[in-house]
Amino acid sequence: MPDQPSEFDLIAQLAPFLAGTHGDVAVGHGDDAAVLDLDGRLVVVAVDVVVEGVHFTRGVSTAGDVGWKAVAVNVSDLAAMGARPDAAVVGLCRPGDVDVAEVERLYAGMSEACTRWGLRLVGGDTVRADALALSVTVFGRLAAKRPVTRSGARPGDALVVVGSLGGPAAAVAGLAAGVTVDPRHLAAHRRPRALVEAGCVLAQGGASAMIDVSDGLGADLGHICAASGVRARVRADALPLDEGLRDAAAALGADPLDLACGGGEDFALLATVPEQDAPRLAAAAGAAEGVAAAVIGEVVAAVADEPVAELLHADGTTADLSALGYDHYAAG
């Protein structure tokens, strides 16, 4: 088979076919969601696909879990713009061995997630396919006047993470290795939560950039740095690790920081905020969801040939953070 480009390289090659930020496209392709100005009302739109064998395994996740996840990952992209969801439509790819009762269980999971985040499922499409997949498109509206994009980070801003890191990656690695998995990590993999209220707190509090951590902190911080033309420094000892992550990493013979920074599916929010507001905003955003939140580092000016995101260890050594991250093509 010829070499496949990475998911990120492929998306970059598609740019000529896509609309950028211009006219009534208030935020074009390249962010967590697009924002359209429809006669003065800003509408936020995102789509994400969850596919069997890539995002879930039947046997590990129930049909209800898969339905929940298909909605939650999209709502998380809206949260990363500082938006709340209103409605969704769903495309169902259905293999022959998925019967009607199973499809109903998928929809029950989607309904639960829709109830949790206050949106309604208003339509969809059904096709026969080889793999089970759900493609959910969500629509929503902003909590603040403006969307929070990936491109607004400035040197001097502080980096804030809301939600903890590493558990879902530890669960997936643990299942693959056949070691006992922490039930909290497995639950986070099967039923991720979207931090909508935290996103709104950060947006209303003046966050300059934001992304949801779906591909690993390193990769997603790299997206903010690339879009904003800045670098970032992260203090390893400030990272909010999922409870039980150190034990899970020890059982796997892995470094907890690799799981926390290079894993994926955390669905935490990573924001850049004015430095003087950072402790207060992190605390308020964490409290809005009842999750951990921390100021993890700072944004600095870009320097040619230096890693865009650097991890500072307590002993003074550094590592390239942006090299860590989950790429479905590379992993596949």
Is 11 an interacting residue with respect to ligand ADP (CB under 6 A)? yes
Return d(Cα 293, Cα 4) in angstroms, integer.
37
Out of 25, 29, 112, 327, point to the residue binding ligand ADP (CB under 6 A): 29
Binding at 19: pick from Mg ion, ligand ADP, none (beta carbon under 5-8 Å per type): none
Query: Taking CB under 5 A as the rule, does residue 32 contact Mg ion?
Result: yes
79 vs 248, beta carbon nearer Mg ion: 79
> Near Mg ion by CB under 5 A, which window of 30-38, 95-103, 158-166, 179-187?
30-38
Query: Which region, judged by CB under 5 A, interacts with Mg ion, from 6-14, 54-62, 69-77, 202-210?
Result: 69-77
Residue 179 interacts, among Mg ion, ligand ADP, none and using kind-specific CB cut-offs from 5 to 8 Å, with: none
* Residue length of the chain: 332
Q: Note whether 301 and 236 are within 8 A (CB).
A: no
Nearest CB to ligand ADP, comparing residues 35 and 311: 35
Rounded CA-CA distance 172/265 in Å is: 10
Q: What is the DSSP string of 161-224?
A: EES-BSHHHHHHHHHHHT----HHHHHHHHS----HHHHHHHHHTT-SEEEEESS-HHHHHHHH
The 10 Å Cβ neighbour count of residue 302 is: 14
From the list 48, 157, 197, 258, which residue makes contact with ligand ADP (rule: CB under 6 A)? 48
Q: Which of 75, 323, 316, 286 is nearest to 160 (CA)?
A: 286
Give the C-alpha separation, 312 to 62, whole Å. 39
What is the x/- site pattern for ligand ADP, positions 73-92, by CB under 6 A?
----x---------------
Residue 177 in the binding site for ligand ADP (CB under 6 A): no
Taking the complex as a whole, the smallest distance from the CB of residue 291 to Mg ion amounts, in Å, to 17
230: its two tokens? 């800045």
- Whose tokens are 């690695």? That residue is 173
**Would you count residue 151 as binding ligand ADP (CB under 6 A)?**
no
Helix, strand, coil percentages for the chain (3-state, nearest 5): 40, 30, 35
Q: Is 330 in the site for ligand ADP (CB under 6 A)?
A: no
Does residue 32 touch ligand ADP according to CB under 6 A?
Answer: yes
Contact, 272 vs 209, CB < 8 A?
Answer: yes
Stretch that binds ligand ADP, among 30-38, 117-125, 276-284, 320-328 (CB under 6 A): 30-38
Residues that bind Mg ion in the complex, under the rule CB under 5 A: 32, 77, 212, 214
The residues that touch ligand ADP, with contacts defined as CB under 6 A, are 11, 14, 18, 29-32, 48, 77, 214-215
